[in-house]
Chains A and B, each alone.
Chain A
């Protein structure tokens, strides 16, 4: 999440909202956000319904996989990044900036 924070200005400049999602409580997520200096919302999927609907629930962890979805203004999925790849937001920043140039 820190890596997204570092790229937040670029993402916002490219009309992109970042939302973190985990199965922690809203209060744990707020404490986490404060600790690592994240200013975008960290949403709480308490119970994991959304995590399952997106197909990213992992039985072994009883939690989500580390996955990013980039969703366009039309609601369609533009990019997916899985696991280790998902920690580096550079590709998403590039995709958003490219999209902006194409408009």
Chain B
């Protein structure tokens, strides 16, 4: 009976460790990233709503004109 909490704690730790490891890797380097610094950014065409119409935006619209920050975020109405 007394061994059970220990066992549960060990299991919990074992399950959490990979999560912690994955998280720290994501913070530090870009080893988990498909695209690396120096790669050509894939072309995209996406839309946004300006209040009246849906507007197209292509990455290539900015080639030779501007740098582009593409900021992926998880969902609207969340922080960050």
Contact = CB atoms under 8 A, between A and B. Distances in A.
Interface of A: 1, 3-4, 11, 14-24, 26-32, 35, 41-45, 50-51, 53-56, 61, 63-80, 82-87, 89, 92, 96, 99
B74 A61 contact: yes
Contacts of A42: 48, 76
A98 to B, nearest CB: 11
B7 interface: no
Interface residues of B, number: 43
Contact of B69 (A26, A70, A74, A84): A70
A65 B62 CA distance: 24
Interface of B: 26-27, 30, 33-42, 44, 46-51, 54-55, 57, 59-60, 62-77, 79-80
> Is chain A's binding surface mostly helix, strand, loop or mixed?
mixed
Contacts of A84: 27
Nearest to A68: B71
A64 B39 CA distance: 20
A20 to B, nearest CB: 5
Given A23-B75, A53-B42, A69-B70, 15 more contacts: A16-B68, A30-B48, A41-B48, A45-B44, A55-B33, A55-B34, A61-B74, A63-B74, A66-B80, A68-B71, A68-B72, A71-B68, A73-B62, A73-B63, A75-B41
